[in-house]
Structure 1
Amino acid sequence: MIEHIIEIAFYLSTALTLFILMLPSQYGPTPRGSSDSAAEPKTTVQVLVLGDIGRSPRMQYHALSIARGGGQVDIIGYHESDVHPDISSHPRIQVVALPPHPFCLQTSNRVIFLLLGPVKVLFQVFSLWWILAYRTKPVKWLLVQNPPSIPTLAIASLVCFFRQTKLVIDWHNFGYTILALKLGDNHPLVKISRWYEKAFCKSATAHLCVTNVMASVLKKDFKLESPILPLHDRPANHFQPIQDDQERKEFLLSLSETAPVRGLLKEGKAEVIVSSTSWSPDEDFSLLIDALCRYSEISNTSKPRLPHILAIITGKGPQREMYVERISSLQNNGKLRNVTIRTAWLSTVNYARLLASASLGVSLHTSSSGVDLPMKVVDMFGSGLPVVGWSRFKAWPELVTDGVNGRGFGSSGELVEELIDLFGNPAKLEKLRIGARESSSYRWDDEWTPVAGKLLGLV
């Protein structure tokens, strides 16, 4: 028995020694540039997202705020779509791209997902370790988006330990609750993921999170002792209301997605709704499709006649093609006679202008945990766009004041009722628009500076 213990200890110590020898020669958070440089940054930060940087607005906003506050930033993630233009042009921000996953590791099939999952994690482990330990210089702070938590939290914790870097986790949601959408709450991998998330998050110096409710869960259930700082999402400055109705109409008419209904838009007989989605399981797009089918049916017999709806759906994601095929089938079968649905992927500037020009925003985010919030609603408010959204989760009231800047629904039937009520009563819709514009006055930097800025030593 003792011989076995000695043998195991020998192999473990050998592995640990090899691991340490593989580390880069620099461990301390040395500042970039010479010590007497006038342009020496106030701090150095790596912002890490194990996802597409261009589709991670909150992490981009973090990077911009740090850089504008005098810090030097590496933003690390997949470079699949265009980043915010200010990111690519800012002299204090460097985009460090993670190598993309091999195509053979991508699947939506549950069984294949379980088989390829470990291989995908190993690929990510190698990629993250190479970038954080070799490709980039040591920094004072590492700000990590969570989820995904596997393998991000473990690798980040190890790198921070050896490089004497302070780890900050920015909680958008919980990784294990998202995994449960695919596998179920009682699946062993979900339980392991939950344990993993709770174990490795304890190495962080501090935690940021998107809602007060989430902060309570982190303190009570995760039993964290390090500071937990709620940092609500707020709109960035490029999301602004457009006050001139004519300017809004002209922009809508310039979009290729509005071509089928341009005549109706010119005559004021069509309304534009916008929904931004990741086409993922935590957003049941069937809710909106079913509601629009019912709206089309009712609008054909209503008096006065309800306006035609043009629904523009923006975003990329795994379930997009499935829903596009379903929409095409419904249109061919005459189920969407007073409704037109178009999908789009717009530039940052045009997306902001679309929100400011539309009549109503729709959020289908159902929340796997019940304690996160959809950032798309924040962007809509920043553009002065009122919102109807799925509201059956705890954190919803932290974002939307029902009847003031938006309304909630809990089924496709309730969504139909909201659409009919608002488009049948323009005064009610205008009241919500006024409330949304008022909500747009409080911006990202107003929220970020006294919380994250103070934590990172920039104020």
Structure 2
Amino acid sequence: MSSTPSNNRQRACIVVAGDIGRSPRMQYHATSLVNDNYNVDIIGYMESKPMDVLLTDRQHYRIHELSEVPVTNFPPKLKYAFKAIWQSLSLVIALLSIQRPQFLLVQNPPAVPTLFICYLYCKLMRTKFVIDWHNYSYSILALSANENSLIVRLAKWIEKKFGAKADSHLCVTNAMKEDLETNWGIESAVVLYDRPPLQFKPIDLNAKHDLFVKLSVEYPEFLSEDSDDDEFVESTVFTRKLSNGTVQWKENRPGLLVSSTSWTADEDFGILLKALEEYENAANQENSAYPDLICVITGKGPQKDEYIQKIAAFDWNKVTVVTPWLLIEDYPKVLASADLGVCLHWSSSGLDLPMKVVDMFGCGLPVCAINFKCLDELVVHEKNGFIFENYKELADQLKFWFAHFNNNIAVEQTKEKFQRRINEFQSLRWKENWQKNALPVFKSLS
């Protein structure tokens, strides 16, 4: 971190009209800005724990927590209006509590009421207004409402009207840059691809074993059923530690599949469950060909309880599903310990990319990802991962990957091919990518 005295630094404000802890890109913006001689105010909700440095370094970071919207029994339209008014007042109060920043960086979505409030604040305070476009609010609303409904049309108007008034724009894909230019009249957007920070990296077998031991305390699926044996002192379902300290994979260990989700409408986990059912059936028919499979699905969100009930109803012999909420420091380790990742995120606009795949690639983990419009800006089928259109294709990919587990020449050759491309991806990390693409935008505003 820069040693510049705090009172000689410039000021920036980051607005996350969502959970700060589940907004990694905005947290990375904050740490990058602090490293480049800014003090940063962060405005958002505190539903889950953000990065430790944002909480412990009070000299350079200040978090201003937004008030949760009270639960009401209003009809849907009135509830939406009440929520917008509440969030507007909460955001205004937070903005008035900070020192005037050189610029304000806001995450979009959500656009309502964020873009209007932030634009108005910047206009009054003569602060530069920057939007980081992750997706479009109106396209997300259209998942649960008719695209021609008043709410969706109003959200689109607000998003387009006040989005175009920003002084500078960042966005997550080249496809979004082109769409902003063609359909929104925004010609200056700079593409800042998500890249993993250094904590998303491969780990050695000892670190994997330690993680499995830690997880087994809370999740019995990771426990070993081995009886006491003088040859080893510690055992999990995947690994064992010998008395001389050496850690080994178990010969007949399960495969480890991992996925992460916010359990929202833009991720249909029914596809994964159907694919796992296909795998279960194939494994029961050819027991010697397929290993047991432990599928770890991480994350929090509105549809989690619904899917947990569906998972509990399955009577599977070969497949086990675990749905933990992982600590920030454990999530990268789980990705680095898995054999294969699955991404069910599809973009409501077709213009954003799943950060979870970025994290997986950072950890050296190959991935199966559901296809949508611009996914090939990140995942190229059979070059650095697999792309699937439906649960049948995903099931075929799972069966290919885990057939004759760890003793399949075709799979090993595919892994090597994928790994070469993933290694190239890992060579450009967040820090260097941010300095090359985002920093010039912020410097031009100071």
TM-score w.r.t. the length of structure 2 is 0.88
SS state at 2:285 partner: coil
Matches within 5 A, 1:58-457: 58-90=25-57, 91-104=59-72, 112-132=75-95, 134-225=96-187, 227-242=188-203, 244-256=204-216, 259-263=220-224, 264-266=237-239, 267=250, 268-302=252-286, 304-330=288-314, 334=315, 336-391=316-371, 393-424=372-403, 425=408, 426-428=411-413, 430-431=415-416, 432-457=418-443
How many angstroms does 1:135 deviate by?
1.2
How many angstroms does 1:303 deviate by?
6.3
Aligned mates of 1:188, 1:130 — CA distance in 2: 28
Aligned mates of 1:428, 1:258 — CA distance in 2: 33
How many angstroms does 1:114 deviate by?
2.9
Aligned mates of 1:167, 1:381 — CA distance in 2: 32
How many angstroms does 1:246 deviate by?
4.3
Aligned mates of 1:38, 1:236 — CA distance in 2: 26
How many angstroms does 1:38 deviate by?
5.1
Number of positions where the alignment pairs a residue of Structure 1 with one of Structure 2: 410
The 1:385/1:113 distance shift into structure 2, 3 A limit, reads farther
- The percent identity for this pair of structures is 40
1:183/1:190 contact within 8 Å kept: yes
SS state at 1:192 partner: helix
> Structure 1: where are the runs of 5+ without partners?
1-36, 106-110
How many angstroms does 1:453 deviate by?
1.0
What letter corresponds to residue 328 of structure 1 in structure 2? A
What letter corresponds to residue 116 of structure 2 in structure 1? A
What letter corresponds to residue 427 of structure 1 in structure 2? E
What letter corresponds to residue 193 of structure 2 in structure 1? H
Aligned mates of 2:334, 2:267 — CA distance in 1: 21
Aligned mates of 2:6, 2:313 — CA distance in 1: 59
The 1:409/1:162 distance shift into structure 2, 3 A limit, reads same
What letter corresponds to residue 187 of structure 1 in structure 2? S
How many angstroms does 1:95 deviate by?
1.0
What letter corresponds to residue 81 of structure 1 in structure 2? S
Over residues 250-278 of structure 1, what are the superposed CA-to-partner deviations in whole Å (9 max), with x where a residue is unaligned?
42243136522544424343011111100
What letter corresponds to residue 145 of structure 2 in structure 1? L
1:386/1:435 contact within 8 Å kept: no
Aligned mates of 2:361, 2:82 — CA distance in 1: 41
The 1:41/1:204 distance shift into structure 2, 3 A limit, reads farther
2:296/2:323 contact within 8 Å kept: yes
TM-score w.r.t. the length of structure 1 is 0.85
Over residues 357-387 of structure 1, what are the superposed CA-to-partner deviations in whole Å (9 max), with x where a residue is unaligned?
1111110001100010111111111111111
Higher helix proportion (structure 1 or 2): 1
Aligned mates of 2:424, 2:329 — CA distance in 1: 21
What letter corresponds to residue 322 of structure 2 in structure 1? R
The CA RMSD measured in Å over matched residues stands at 1.9
What letter corresponds to residue 206 of structure 1 in structure 2? S
> Structure 2: where are the runs of 5+ without partners?
225-236, 240-249
Matched, 1:52 2:12: no
1:176/1:194 contact within 8 Å kept: yes
How many angstroms does 1:249 deviate by?
3.6
Over residues 298-334 of structure 1, what are the superposed CA-to-partner deviations in whole Å (9 max), with x where a residue is unaligned?
111126421111111111100000000010011xxx2
The 1:339/1:112 distance shift into structure 2, 3 A limit, reads farther
Aligned mates of 1:437, 1:353 — CA distance in 2: 17
Aligned mates of 1:212, 1:165 — CA distance in 2: 27
Aligned mates of 2:364, 2:10 — CA distance in 1: 35
SS state at 1:220 partner: helix
What letter corresponds to residue 320 of structure 1 in structure 2? K
1:241/1:437 contact within 8 Å kept: no
2:6/2:39 contact within 8 Å kept: no
Aligned mates of 2:302, 2:126 — CA distance in 1: 38
2:294/2:319 contact within 8 Å kept: yes
What letter corresponds to residue 162 of structure 1 in structure 2? L
